[in-house]
Amino acid sequence: MKRVGVMAWLLVFLGVVIAFRAEGSPTVRAGRDNVLVGPKEEIRDDFYGAGSSVVVQGKITGDLMAAGKDITSKGEIGGDMLAAGQDIKIGGKVGGNVRAAAQTLELEGAVGKAVTAFASQMMVRPEATVGSNLLFAGRTLEMAGKVEGNLRAAGEKVVISGPIKGNLEVSAQSLELLPGAEVGGKLKYRGPNPPSISPEAVVRGEQDIVLEEREPRYGLGEALRDWLKVMVLTALLSLLASPFLMAVEGEWVQRFWTVLGAGALWTVFLPLIIFICLLLGITQILGWLFLGLYLLFLWGAVLLFKPLLGAWIGRKMFPRWEGHWGTSLLATLLGTTLVWLLSLVPFLNAIIFLVGLLMVVGSWLLLLGRYLLSWPRASQI
**Domain assignment present for 180:** no
74 burial type by CB count under 10 A (0-12 exposed, 13-18 middle, 19+ buried) = middle
Residue after which a domain boundary falls, among 149, 172, 187: 149
Residue 141 sits in the same domain as residue 7: yes
Residue 227 sits in the same domain as residue 318: yes
**Domain assignment present for 115:** yes
Residue after which a domain boundary falls, among 99, 127, 149: 149
**Domain assignment present for 326:** yes
Query: Which long-range contacts does 37-44 make (Cβ < 8 Å, 24+ apart)?
Result: 37/75, 39/75
- Prediction pTM value: 0.58
C-alpha angle 51-56-58 in degrees, rounded to nearest 5: 145
The larger pLDDT score, comparing residue 354 to residue 79, is at: 79
Residue 139 sits in the same domain as residue 228: no
* Whole-angstrom distance, CA of residue 354 vs CA of residue 248: 17
3-class DSSP state of 112 = coil
Q: Are strands 59-60 and 64-73 parallel, antiparallel or unpaired?
A: unpaired
pLDDT value of position 276:
61
The band of 17, judged by pLDDT with boundaries at 50, 70 and 90, is very low
Residues 6+ apart with CB under 8 A from 345: none
The band of 333, judged by pLDDT with boundaries at 50, 70 and 90, is confident
**Domain assignment present for 193:** no
The CA-atom distances, in angstroms, between 100 and each of 56, 159, 325 are: 15, 20, 53
pLDDT value of position 21:
42
Q: List, for residues 101-149, the tens digit of each pLDDT value.
A: 889 999 999 999 999 998 999 999 999 999 999 999 999 999 999 999 9
The larger pLDDT score, comparing residue 120 to residue 233, is at: 120
Residue 120 sits in the same domain as residue 239: no
3-class DSSP state of 155 = coil
Task: Evaluate if residue 182 carries a pLDDT over 90.
Answer: yes
**Domain range spanning residue 121?**
2-149
Residue 238 sits in the same domain as residue 343: yes
Query: Which long-range contacts does 166-169 make (Cβ < 8 Å, 24+ apart)?
Result: 166/133, 167/205, 168/203
CA atoms 81, 38, 119, 205: torsion sign? negative
The band of 16, judged by pLDDT with boundaries at 50, 70 and 90, is very low
Residue 21 sits in the same domain as residue 110: yes
Neighbours of 223 (CB within 10 A): 13
**Domain assignment present for 318:** yes
Residue 225 sits in the same domain as residue 96: no
Residue 232 sits in the same domain as residue 351: yes
Q: List, for residues 193-206, the tens digit of each pLDDT value.
A: 999 999 999 999 99
The band of 232, judged by pLDDT with boundaries at 50, 70 and 90, is confident
Residue 345 sits in the same domain as residue 250: yes
**Domain assignment present for 333:** yes
Q: How many helices (H) and strands (E) does the chain have?
A: 8, 25
Task: Evaluate if residue 90 carries a pLDDT over 60.
Answer: yes
Four-CA torsion 276, 282, 283, 288, nearest 10 degrees: -40
Give the number of domains in the chain: 2
**Domain assignment present for 194:** no
Sheet containing 93-94: give its strands across: 42-43, 59-60, 76-77, 93-94, 110-111, 129-130, 146-147, 163-164, 182-183, 202-203
* Whole-angstrom distance, CA of residue 322 vs CA of residue 357: 26
- Give yes or no for a contact between 116 and 133, defined as CB atoms under 8 angstroms apart: no
**Domain assignment present for 334:** yes
Residue 144 sits in the same domain as residue 228: no
Residue 11 sits in the same domain as residue 93: yes
Residue 234 sits in the same domain as residue 361: yes
Q: What is the b/e burial string over 329-351, where b = at least 16 CB atoms within 10 angstroms of the residue's CB?
A: bebbbebbbebbeebeeeeeeee
Residue after which a domain boundary falls, among 87, 120, 149: 149
Residues in the chain, overall count? 381
